[in-house]
């Protein structure tokens, strides 16, 4: 089955048509190799990095922003968000610190993207 | 006078922090950053999505991560002090900074000043949308701060007006936190947002985007109960009332443009550029008020923070030079926007040696675009680009030894 995408690699925004031809993924409409790579990835296994934010206990900030440390399959995004909503973070937190391992069975970890210090300093 | 510093930086966001670091590196011994929030990093702290730093750090970071890299460097630099919870009230033409903070009112005599106050969002008032004045009308950035930093949801059923990147990102953010986003309306026939955001924020989440469409009325007494949206005539932008329809919602998010926050700049007497709404600067990012420099979104609205960091380094370095008496006063020529070019920064150049980078924006989309930079009859740069759009800041380098008069930057179809 043919699928259509708008390429996101640059502002040109080529309209890509991608299809499977006997096991080989074909891309048409791209004007550069980056467009082809994007088309193949989006057709075979679309991936997204999830960013969100979670409440912190005893922190100098109410919330701590977080992200998955690797892109996760697009169809797993709702599960990842659900898991992030359940996280309880305790201050202090450093940037890059893991706050949830192997989120929703994706193999990716959720890590803090901001520093939150203890409330009493 | 409470104290003296070499360089005072107004604003502790990405521009201010990068300017302070570079000023210190360039020899300024005492650098003071004044920030009104209780944490440095500015607006990046609420931009929790990723995509920052690809150009500057060569990797993809979230806003807070990008900010933290600069915060860490500043904290490890003895000569830089960051004064938080401090609101600057005025900057005089002779560089006296008056501020109010934790310690009350303070005045600082600065050898040089870097203006890095950023920009703010256009609000409902600037658009003049008809209707009642209920709760539930927010700028997208305000909602972003509430959701991402304060942990509060501004509403459950949302219409977004404006398809710039902030609007697109907030549409996804609201869906991800459990709200229903009915639609994104865009007055223009195109989005100024990145394709990536249209795909990953709207298409991924099934949010419709309507071009040539705007909100013509807001309904509700205490709280927003809905909005009337209508298509507009693509030529005149006037709403076609026969297309008007009611869309039930409890929240309207506005992502309708950013305005450099230049109240302090005006007090310095610096010349302003009516197109950018920022100061007129030379390649050193010095305004026409001597010793006062500007960078980042207070100078012109950027689409990439990476460019803000670069521009701030230029301003910081030259501010330090000025404070140390190493920046000589020189005659300047004008840089003028022509054809499809809406504005160019810097607006002035000092004749001489070396290269200068010109940053500019077009007023409409060109596919393909032909860029010509010339000085009198002499063509300095002539090149073709597949596409130039208003949402994307363009850059070109010129050789200053070729410049002996006013420079024009021109873009046309072709």
Q: For the stretch B20-42, what's the b/e string if a residue is b when 16 or more beta carbons lie within 10 angstroms of its beta carbon?
A: bbbbbbbebebbbbbbbbebbbb
Q: Quote the DSSP letter at residue B29.
A: S
Strands B180-185 and B209-210: parallel
Provide, as residue numbers in chain A, all residues whose Cβ is less than 8 Å from the Cβ of B198: 6
Contact flag B151-A65 (C-beta cutoff 8 Å): no
Q: What pLDDT, on the 0 to 100 scale, is given for residue B16?
A: 98
Q: Give CATH superfamily name and number for B1-121+258-329.
A: FAD/NAD(P)-binding domain (3.50.50.60)
The phi and psi torsions of B252 (rounded to 5 degrees) equal -120, 120
- The reply to whether residue B49 touches residue A51, judged by beta carbons under 8 angstroms, is yes
Res A121 pLDDT > 70: no
Going residue by residue through chain B (414 aa), what tens digit of pLDDT does each one get? 789 999 999 999 999 999 999 999 999 999 999 999 999 999 999 999 998 998 899 999 999 999 999 999 999 999 999 999 999 999 999 999 999 999 899 999 999 999 999 999 999 999 999 999 999 999 999 999 999 999 999 999 999 999 999 999 999 999 999 999 999 999 999 888 888 899 999 999 999 999 999 999 999 999 999 999 999 999 999 999 999 999 999 999 999 999 999 999 999 999 999 999 999 999 999 999 999 999 999 999 998 999 999 999 999 999 999 999 999 888 899 999 999 999 999 999 998 888 999 999 999 889 899 999 999 889 999 999 988 988 889 999 999 999 999 999 999 998
Same fold, B1-121+258-329 and B331-414: no
Q: Is the peptide bond before A92 cis (omega within 30 degrees of 0)?
A: yes
Alpha helix (H) ranges present in B245-358?
263-267, 305-323
- Class of residue B102 by CB neighbours under 10 A (exposed 0-12, middle 13-18, buried 19+): exposed
Strand B292-294 vs strand B104-115: parallel, antiparallel, or unpaired? parallel
DSSP H helical ranges for B177-228:
195-197
pLDDT at B22: 98
- A49 CB neighbours in chain B (<8 A) are 50, 60
Contact status of A13 with chain B (Cβ, < 8 Å): yes
CATH number of B331-414: 2.60.40
Boundaries of every domain in chain B: 1-121+258-329, 123-256, 331-414
Distance of CA B65 to the CA centre of its chain: 19
Q: Which alpha helices (DSSP H) does B160-269 contain, by range?
A: 165-176, 195-197, 263-267
Alpha helices in B177-304 (DSSP H): 195-197, 263-267
- Cβ of B380: how many Cβ atoms within 10 Å? 19
Could you tell me where the beta strands, DSSP code E, fall in B274-389?
Answer: 292-294, 332-339, 341-345, 348-350, 355-362, 369-375, 378-385
Q: Could you tell me which CATH class the domain B123-256 is placed in?
A: alpha beta
Q: Which of A12, A55, A113 sits opposite B65 (nearest CB)?
A: A113
Give B150's DSSP letter. Answer: I
Determine contact, residues B33/B16, Cβ cutoff 8 Å.
yes
**Which domains, ranges and CATH numbers included, belong to chain A?**
3-44 (no CATH), 51-112 (3.10.530.10)
Give the tokens for residue B38. Answer: 């209780």
- Residues of chain A with C-beta less than 8 angstroms from the C-beta of B151: 53, 55, 62-63
């Amino acid at each position: 089955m043919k699928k259509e995408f708008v390429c996101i690699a640059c502002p040109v925004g080529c309209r890509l048509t991608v299809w499977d031809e006997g096991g080989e993924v074909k891309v048409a409409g791209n004007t550069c190799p980056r467009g082809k790579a994007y088309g193949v990835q989006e057709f075979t296994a679309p991936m997204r990095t999830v960013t969100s934010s979670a409440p912190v206990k005893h922190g100098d900030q109410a919330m701590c922003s977080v992200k998955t440390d690797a892109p996760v399959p697009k169809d797993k995004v709702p599960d990842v968000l659900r898991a992030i909503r359940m996280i309880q973070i305790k201050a202090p937190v450093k940037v890059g610190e893991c706050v949830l391992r192997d989120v929703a069975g994706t193999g990716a970890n959720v890590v803090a993207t901001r520093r939150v210090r203890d409330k009493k300093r | 006078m409470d104290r003296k510093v070499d360089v005072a930086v107004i604003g502790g966001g990405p521009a201010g922090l990068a300017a302070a670091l570079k000023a210190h590196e360039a020899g300024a011994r005492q650098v003071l950053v004044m920030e009104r929030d209780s944490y440095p990093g500015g607006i990046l702290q609420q931009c929790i999505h990723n995509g920052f730093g690809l150009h500057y750090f060569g990797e993809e970071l979230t806003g807070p991560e990008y900010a933290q890299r600069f915060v860490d460097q500043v904290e490890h630099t003895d000569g830089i002090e960051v004064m938080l919870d401090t609101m600057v009230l005025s900057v005089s033409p002779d560089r006296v900074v008056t501020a109010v903070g934790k310690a009350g009112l303070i005045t600082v005599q600065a050898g040089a000043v870097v203006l890095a106050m950023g920009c703010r969002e256009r609000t409902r008032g600037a658009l003049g949308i008809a209707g009642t004045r209920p709760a539930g009308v927010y700028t997208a950035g305000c909602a972003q701060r509430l959701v991402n930093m304060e942990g509060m949801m501004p509403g459950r059923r949302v219409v977004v007006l404006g398809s710039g990147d902030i609007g697109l990102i907030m549409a996804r953010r609201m869906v991800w936190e459990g709200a229903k986003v009915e639609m994104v309306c865009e007055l223009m026939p195109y989005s100024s947002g990145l394709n990536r955001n249209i795909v990953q924020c709207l298409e991924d989440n099934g949010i419709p985007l309507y071009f040539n469409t705007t909100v013509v009325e807001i309904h509700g007494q205490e709280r927003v109960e809905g909005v009337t949206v209508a298509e507009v005539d693509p030529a005149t932008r006037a709403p076609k009332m026969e297309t008007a329809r009611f869309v039930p919602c409890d929240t309207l998010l506005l992502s309708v443009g950013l305005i450099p926050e230049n109240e302090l700049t005006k007090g310095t007497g610096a010349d302003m550029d009516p197109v950018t709404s920022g100061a007129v600067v030379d390649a050193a990012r010095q305004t026409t008020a001597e010793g006062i420099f500007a960078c980042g979104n207070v100078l012109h609205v950027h689409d990439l923070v990476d460019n803000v960091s670069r521009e701030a380094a230029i301003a910081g370095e030259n501010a330090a030079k000025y404070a140390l008496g190493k920046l000589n006063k020189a005659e300047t020529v004008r840089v003028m926007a022509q054809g499809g070019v809406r504005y160019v920064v810097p607006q002035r150049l000092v004749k001489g040696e070396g290269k200068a980078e010109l940053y500019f924006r077009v007023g409409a989309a060109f596919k393909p675009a032909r860029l010509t930079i010339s000085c009198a009859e002499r063509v300095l740069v002539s090149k073709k680009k597949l596409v130039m759009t208003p949402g994307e800041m363009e850059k070109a380098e010129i050789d200053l030894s070729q410049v002996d008069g006013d420079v024009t930057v021109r873009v046309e179809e072709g």
